[in-house]
Structure 1
Amino acid sequence: MVSIEENCHGGFLQTFAWKVGTNEAALRLIISIFAGYPLSIFLRDNLHGTSATTKHLFISTIGLAICYFNYGMDTGYLFFCSLFNYILLFLVGGTGSSVIISFLFNLGYLLVSYAIFASNDYDMNWTTPQCILTLRMISVAFDLYDGHKPVEKLSSEQKSLCFKESPGLLEIVSYSFFFGYLLTGPQYPLRQYRDYMDGKLLDNESGKPSDTLQPAMRILTIGMIYFIIEILLVPSFPATYLVTEEFAQSSFLYKLFYICLFGRFTINKYVTFWLISEGVCILSGIAYSGKDKEGKAKWTACSGIKPLAFETALSVRDMVATFNISTNTWLARYVYKRLKFLGNRYISQIVSLLFLAAWHGLHIGYYNNFILEFFIVMFDVQATELFTKVPILNNISQHRLMSLVKLVVLKFCMLLFMGYPLVSFVLLKWSKIHLVYKEVYYIGHIFFVILWPIFSFGVIIPWFKTQKLKSKEKENAKTK
């Protein structure tokens, strides 16, 4: 452990980080993200109307400098990944082979990086932007491949994202190291990036820079609220408390309540960084996503979360739909939908979640988290359908005297269903994870993974099929 004396004799950032109660890596990350605001203003106002090459040079230089500021010579690992993908697409881009090679190389490169550089805790090193870059490079190979397929075989989404021209070296480096999404995401399609470089993503028809200050400051303000919560409240719910004797000696209900709050505050840091980074993207103009029905500009292309919808969510499905939006969209677009040939949505979902687990790292905690998420979402969907279609349950849930009880119960359950898997996501090692789950008798695993699937496949699904059959028979009887 680093002593106080060693900290005081370290560099300025190291010393300052220690004084404000954080570490140097986190401080460098925060500085880098906030630096995106003046950089975005310069890009928007001073480079507007210049050539794409000029913008690529500026973005590449700044992005590499930010990377070096955070990760030093390890920046070379990220640059090598971009270089490899450029060569791959230059040689065989647009073919099925390029997609397979890209997928295997980028995911393999990431997993090997985890194996070499990962520790037993959450790491703030170059593998963080690398995991974001991994998805970005895979998407480029897919979209280029789609661009070489017959148009009639493409979905409307694929048509809007595909392209035929392989990216140049400067372009792919710029695309990889754009400072708005370099360190924390979100995912952003290359075709839209090209539109931005060509000055097509504007909220006006006069050709002037977009008026992005107000929407950017609105998102930044929300992000700063989460940032303040991160500083003031989150330290009160540390993961380390879960493996203490004090937690073990507390009551069962208290343990569940703490897991609820722990889970909620654990994801606060992700929300914070997503919102602040989204503000950078909006300010630069790259987040422009067209206009709504009223003709107002939308700035949602780089959204990582919908704060209001997330905070008011009363089900796991609603929470998932509003959280980590760009990654979930990427997963659906390039993994889940591409597995349609399997003919089974459950298998596609499991494979997608296993990919997501591997993308996060090699620790067993990630896999446990996402497998639990699969079963919890399945329960959430089926339980909601039961309360909708079974008359007695529907009547009880809709009774006006049950409204407040329903609100409290649903919110508690949603927080518990979110927090329970996150225990393993944060603690990572099974030796630690087991200490927590055994204190709550593995209640989540027993109910969601064992009891509910048995009840679901033995009772619920057959009942739904019977009801559908009866409905068809009634409809047929009416038509005769």
Structure 2
Amino acid sequence: MGVALGLMAAAEQVTAAEAGLQGALHPSTGDWSLEAAAAHLGTSQDALKLFISIVLGYPFALFHRQFLYGKQPHMIHLYNTALGLWMAYFNFGFQMFHSLACVLFQFLVLRLIGRTITGVATTFIFQMIYLLAGYYYTATDQYDIKWTMPHCVLTLKLIGLSLDYYDGGKDKAQLSKEQELHMLPKELSLAEVSGFAYFYGAFLVGPQFAMSSYLQMAKGELTDQPGHRPNSVTPALKRLLLGMFYVMVYMLGKPYFPDDYFLTSEFANRSLGYRCLFICLWGKVTLIKYVTCWLVAVSHPYPLHIFKRLKFLGSKMVSQGLTLLFLAIWHGLHSGYFMCFFMEFVIVYHENQVLQLIEDSPLLNRLTSRPELTPVLYVLQQSFHWLFMGYALVPFCLFAWDKWVQVYKSVYFVGHVIFFSQILLMPSYRKLLVPKKHLKHQ
């Protein structure tokens, strides 16, 4: 999730120096450098570079479709690796060697340690320590576009690769349907690993996908028309136009709902109702930045993959909690990430309790099934969703403890109070509304 902030950082990273350049480096003076363009647009040079890189994925993909489709897979791997390395250098200079070192290390792990649990553990420990060290040495109190942004995508991708490679050495009877679909029974070449890691369509901000899908693409097998190019041009253009639409909506809406406003005395002096409403609307606008980056179907979400692998613990709640803890650490070391995913855990846990209560209670079941109440229930559901989506996003976007705690204090920790009180009261609700034969669900 955090990496998606990068694309829309263009609306949030105007520094005083950049503002001063807006007049001096206006394109009308003849200076068409990236620095001048960024100043004219009111953004940072890093954000503009990232946006350009993402949009260039479309002509790169079109070239692949027209001239490389059906060619030898090694040509596809080299093409993807070269473009990914160029993107890394264009955006981060010689800091591109961080990703290169981790990709080479991962290839050596696959070759030298092989399909073993030791290989998976080595991958997880090394890649996560490298990422967290990067977070530690580059951390600031705001979101910056730096090499750790694509590296967190790469880290999850390489951990997933090691899991799928490990599955390739198991008997099929031991695998789930999903594991069998993505397992890697054959040895991988350096070209395959690097092409997968640096694939230009996902290197900077994702999404995640499995190596098995990538290899199908390289062989020309990832198509809805076997033996022919996929019918992908029109869907891709629709996604591009929709993404650009969301960019415009975000850039128009964000000035009215800036993150910094939460920390002003003006916000603190507003009424409680206004502060809650602002959080609702701010959350909706902020969510657009994620929608903009991920207007694609994530065919292999590795966090879900990890969640399913924890089923041996025998508790869905524990598995979910550990998965969200991993995601918080994966995003960074700021306390805001941990609070955000903690709130997600609490909210999902409460929602599951409510759904189970409605299912077990004949009265609630009848009420929620009445068609005339559908509009009312929909309004309540959406109001609930808007408020607490924004509420949980506050620490995610403000990062630092003193900032997000200040915002939560201003609304008296309303989300925490509501959810924790309702979780504690749920046993009483069940006693009142659920027949005794269903109380085993309590």
User: TM-score, normalising length from structure 1?
Assistant: 0.83
Residue 259 of structure 2 is matched in structure 1 by 239
Q: How does 1:246-395 map to 2 (within 5 A)?
A: 246-275=266-295, 278=296, 303-304=297-298, 329-333=301-305, 335-395=306-366
1:161 and 2:187 aligned: no
Q: Which residue number corresponds to residue 64 of structure 2?
A: 43
* Residue 308 of structure 1: aligned partner: none
Q: Distance in 1 between matches of 2:19 and 2:232?
A: 44
Q: Which residue of 2 aligns with 1:453?
A: 423
Kept in 2, the 8 Å contact 1:131–1:360? The answer is yes
Answering whether residue 51 of structure 2 is matched by residue 30 of structure 1, we say: yes
Tell me by how many angstroms 1:431 deviates.
Answer: 0.5
**Residue in 2 aligned with 1:229?**
249
AA partner of residue 246 (structure 1): E
CA contact (8 A) 1:144 1:162 kept: yes
Q: Which residue of 1 aligns with 2:13?
A: none
How far off its partner does 1:417 sit?
1.5
Report the CA distance between 1:457 and its aligned residue.
5.1
> Any residues of structure 2 matched to 1:77-116 within 5 Å, and which?
77-116=98-137
Kept in 2, the 8 Å contact 1:36–1:180? The answer is yes
Equivalence for 2:8: none
Confirm whether residue 176 of structure 1 aligns to residue 197 of structure 2.
yes
- Identify unmatched segments of 5+ residues in structure 2: 1-15, 26-30
Q: Percent identity?
A: 37
2:408 aligned counterpart, secondary structure: helix
Query: Mean Cα displacement is larger for which, 183-192 or 161-170?
Result: 161-170
Q: How many residues matched?
A: 420
Once superposed, what is the RMSD of the aligned Cα atoms? 2.2
- Deviation of residue 461 (structure 1)? 8.7
Could you tell me which residue of structure 2 aligns to residue 441 of structure 1?
A: 412
**2:382 equivalent in structure 1:** 411
**Aligned partner letter, 1:250:** R
* Whole-angstrom CA distance in 2 between matches of 1:98 and 1:274: 31
Q: Which residue identity is paired with 1:452?
A: Q
Are the counterparts in 1 of residues 281 and 386 from structure 2 also a CA contact under 8 Å?
A: yes
Relative to structure 1, the CA distance from residue 109 to residue 462 in structure 2 (aligned partners, 3 Å threshold; closer, same or farther) is: farther
Are 2:425 and 1:425 aligned? no
Q: Is it true that 1:117 corresponds to 2:138 in the alignment?
A: yes
The secondary structure found in structure 2 opposite 1:211 is coil
Residue 353 of structure 1 aligns with an amino acid whose one-letter code is L
The structural deviation recorded for 1:424 is 0.5
Structural mapping, 1:195-234, within 5 Å: 195-205=216-226, 207-234=227-254
Q: What's the CA shift for 1:204?
A: 2.1
Q: Distance in 1 between matches of 2:440 and 2:164?
A: 45
Contact 2:361 2:433 in 1 (8 A): no
- The answer to whether the 8 Å contact 1:93/1:166 transfers is no
CA distance in 2, matches of 1:71, 1:51: 31
Partner of 1:290: none
Distance change >3 Å, CA 191–CA 437, structure 1 → 2: same
Q: Evaluate the alpha carbon distance shift between residue 258 and residue 349 of structure 1 in structure 2; reply closer, same or farther with a 3 A threshold.
A: same
Distance of aligned partners of 1:416 and 1:203 in 2 relative to their CA distance in 1, 3 Å threshold: same
Q: Aligned equivalents of 1:101 and 1:462: distance in 2?
A: 52
1:461 and 1:264 mapped to 2: Cα distance?
37
What displacement does 1:249 show?
1.0
2: distance between equivalents of 1:414 and 1:452?
16
Once the two structures are TM-superposed, the CA of residue 11 in structure 1 deviates from its matched residue by 8.1
Q: Which consecutive unaligned segments of at least 5 residues does structure 1 have?
A: 279-302, 305-324, 472-480
Corresponding residue of 1:281: none
CA distance in 1, matches of 2:386, 2:321: 23
TM-score, with normalisation over the residues of structure 2? 0.89
Q: Is the 8 A contact 2:18 2:42 kept in 1?
A: no
Q: CA deviation at 1:221?
A: 2.1
Q: Is the 8 A contact 1:63 1:179 kept in 2?
A: yes
Match of 2:4 in 1: none
1:95 & 1:58 partners in 2: Cα distance?
Answer: 31
Does 371-380 or 1-10 show the bigger shift?
1-10
User: Measured at CA, do residues 435 and 26 of structure 1 come closer, stay the same or move farther in structure 2, by a change above 3 Å?
Assistant: same
Aligned to 2:34: 13
Give, as a single letter, the amino acid of the residue that structure 1 aligns with 2:140: S
Per the alignment, residue 90 of structure 2 pairs with 69
- 1:191 to 1:404, Cα distance in 2 relative to 1, 3 A: closer
User: Residues of 1 paired with 2:432 and 2:372: CA distance?
Assistant: 32
Matched residue SS, 1:179: coil
Match of 1:2 in 2: 17
CA distance in 1: counterparts of 2:99 and 2:148, whole angstroms: 9
- What is the CA–CA distance in structure 2 between the aligned matches of 1:84 and 1:390, rounded to whole Å? 55
Kindly provide the amino acid, as one letter, of the partner of residue 197 in structure 2: S
CA contact (8 A) 2:21 2:39 kept: no
Whole-angstrom distance in 2 between the partners of 1:4 and 1:163: 51
Contact 1:366 1:425 in 2 (8 A): yes
SS in 1 for 2:294: helix
**Cα gap change, 1:171 to 1:467, in 2 (>3 Å):** same
Task: Map Cα deviations across residues 118-150 of structure 1 (whole Å, 9 max, x no partner).
Answer: 211112111111000111101111111111111
Q: Would the aligned equivalents of 1:94 and 1:164 in 2 still touch at CA under 8 Å? A: no
2:78 aligned with 1:57: yes
